[in-house]
Structure 1
Amino acid sequence: MMGKIACANVLSDLYAMGVTECDNMLMLLGVSTKMTEKERDVVIPLIMRGFKDSALEAGKTCTTVTGGQTVVNPWCTIGGVATTVCQPNEYIVPDNAVVGDVLVLTKPLGTQVAVNAHQWLDQPERWNRIKLVVSEEDVRKAYHRAMDSMARLNRIASRLMHKYNAHGATDITGFGLLGHAQTLASHQKNEVSFVIHNLPVIAKMAAVAKACGNMFQLLQGHSAETSGGLLICLPREQAAAYCKDIEKQEGYQAWIIGIVEKGNRTARIIDKPRVIEVPAKE
């Protein structure tokens, strides 16, 4: 699963540009010095297999990982590089948002919270902070939803950007929703700003984040996501159809979370955003 998530995350840099075909991938692997030889021989091939399986899922033009680099360090890490050669009509430059566009998000937030909460099931001092707002079953469901979400490719979301005339997009990863929204806003040709009103969050994870004080800053848009969804600027009249189409093709929801208005190329989340509880997929 770790390999699948890493590969999906790498490919999202292409998908955010509307590029749906990958020509070549490299794998960057860090083998932990803390692993025993037996652990290494079991774990590392599994991680590599997950990465390769995800690359295969990305399409016929990206069935092989052609190289990369392996290092030894204290941590077990994996990443990669995805490259492609394409025509101008095959990519969408992320700088054409106009006043009146809406913002669509294609995966729920809260992956960092879900993974941490799952780790805390075995840490009584941590678990005691959140057990009043969430059950062990809730945490396990949220964890599996997070794994499923992070491993899912943004390929269909990217392909539909062309169909519904997207004006630009970015993928949501380590800098959180607001960090990536601000970066996207800062690169717009027009004098616009993004205002986010809705936050789709994996079920119960907003309550967990709140119970931890401001540790995650989830509702402020600063909680890190890994292999998150695409944040897309779409014409208002096309957005609902986009969301309906992606749900029809993938079986997963996308959400209209904000608007593009006249402004100075910044992004913000309103003081009391509406939290949309996204149920775990059974």
Structure 2
Amino acid sequence: MTSVRLTDLAHGGGCGCKLAPSVLQQLLGDKAASMPFAGLLVGTETGDDAAVWQVDERTCVIATTDFFMPVVDDPYDFGRIAATNALSDVYAMGGKPIMALAILGMPLDKLDVDTVRRILAGGDAICAEAGIPVAGGHSIDSAEPIYGLAAIGLCAPSQLRRNATAQVGDAIILTKGIGVGIYSAAFKKQALSADGYDEMLASTTLLNRIGHELAQDGDVHAITDVTGFGLLGHGLEMARGSGLTLRIELAHIPYFTQAESLAQAGYITGASKRNWNSYGDGVSLPTDLPEWRRALLTDPQTSGGLLVACKPEKAPSICSMIEAAGYPSARIIGAAVAGDAGIDVV
């Protein structure tokens, strides 16, 4: 069988494959009102990271699924990135994963069995790092390679954190740098350096387990993860769900080391443009902001960081704790303020 690049078999890659926010809103716009279940604490109503069902006064079950096409060519790395991304949604709700199921679609006329086994092995390795089993799954023969997980987690009701519970005055912390989509676009065109690849891999395979720890702190009010809709898109979900304005300071946003130069060189994903077209009317930008910098703000983040809203006086110590826990790019990037639900970039 002829050797091929995994990324050449897919029309998109990573979280850049997600449907545009505007399309998703059309698909799910009337869904929340049609499903009144008392035990369902979190459904589709605020575009949160996972569904949550309260079992009893001490236990909530968190359920999520995430899968996509390759963002890199190495099958083991692809499996690791996809699994890390899928587990992130559990951590973003304040939970701890307990098991996962594999979701696999492969073009077996184009990929040999050993390649597919290495994808699965990469996912298994990340789940082992998270301390959970891959307990089963489902596979199909598909036109493009697809891999991900359905993940199940648990949390106490008091430790559940949503994207819609930020409070006026909260500081906003971002735990990972921005630039995955930019790097992946450069990688697909063979323009990403080896150092850049290593930087992207280190970030996208870093479990967001800090979310479970943050949820045990009453000074942390809201958490979401930054994935396919970019920093502005997931920030806007937090702003709209919480009924306030997120003021994001451009100078404080952490980026991958080559993200700005690559964006200026034109390595921008189509998903970044679709994101802006979907939600740009909810965002206020500086009038002189160049288009390449706007693209960074809408850049789809595969296995991105957490966006955390917390008490402002506690933010420096919380950010330092996150950094010490293994997230060196963690930064305070803004604040939640009273105003119309939206994003104000300054």
TM beyond 0.5:
yes
Moved more, 67-76 or 155-164: 155-164
Cα 1:88/1:213, change in 2 over 3 Å: closer
Structure 1 gap segments, 5+ residues each: 122-126, 128-135, 271-282
> Quick check: 47-56 or 91-100, which moved more?
91-100
Equivalent of residue 177 in structure 1, options 231, 235, 241:
231
Give distance in 2, aligned partners of 1:172 and 1:259: 16
Shift of the 218–79 alpha-carbon distance from structure 1 to 2, 3 Å rule, reads farther
Q: CA deviation at 1:23?
A: 2.2
Give the corresponding residue for 1:194.
246
Letter in 1 for 2:208: N
Corresponding residue number in structure 2 for 1:237: 313
1:47 aligns with 2:119: yes
2:184 aligned with 1:112: no
Aligned length: 246
What is the SS of the residue equivalent to 1:162?
coil
RMSD: 2.0
1:71 has 2:140 as partner: yes
Superposed, which structure 2 residues align to 1:139-158 within 5 Å?
A: 139-158=193-212
Give the conservation status (yes or no) of the 8 Å contact 1:104–1:257.
Answer: yes
Q: Is 1:219 paired with 2:293?
A: yes
Query: Does 1 or 2 have the higher relative contact order (CA < 8 Å, sep 6+)?
Result: 1
1:193·1:264 contact (CA, 8 Å) conserved in 2?
yes
Matched letter for residue 87 of structure 2:
L
- Give the superposition deviation at 1:199: 2.2
* Counterpart for residue 253 of structure 1: 329
How far apart, CA to CA, are the structure 1 residues paired with 2:267 and 2:183? Answer: 16
SS of match in other structure, 2:247: strand
Q: Decide whether the 8 Å contact of 2:180 with 2:302 is kept in 1.
A: yes
Equivalent-residue separation in structure 1 for 2:155 and 2:321 (angstroms):
25
Cα distance 1:118–1:93, how it changes in 2: closer, same or farther (>3 A)? closer
Equivalent positions of 1:126-165 (< 5 A) are 139-163=193-217, 165=219
How far residue 164 of structure 1 moved from its aligned partner, in angstroms, is: 6.2
User: Separation in 1 of the partners of 2:107 and 2:175?
Assistant: 33
Q: Would you say 1:266 and 2:335 are equivalent positions?
A: no
Q: Could you tell me how far 1:145 is from its partner in structure 2?
A: 0.6
- String of CA shifts for 1:11-45, please: whole Å, max 9, x gaps: 111111111x212211101112442xxx4222111
Unaligned runs of 5+ in 2: 1-76, 273-290
Distance 1:101 1:172 in 2: 18
Percent of residue pairs bearing the same amino acid type: 30
Alpha-carbon distance change, 214 to 66 in structure 1, aligned in 2, over 3 angstroms: closer
Counterpart-to-counterpart distance in 1, 2:267 and 2:330: 28
Partner amino acid, structure 2, of 1:101: D
Shift of 1:267: 1.9
Q: Give 2:275's aligned residue.
A: none
2:150 aligned residue (78, 81, 96): 81
Partners of 1:144 and 1:97 lie apart in 2 by 34
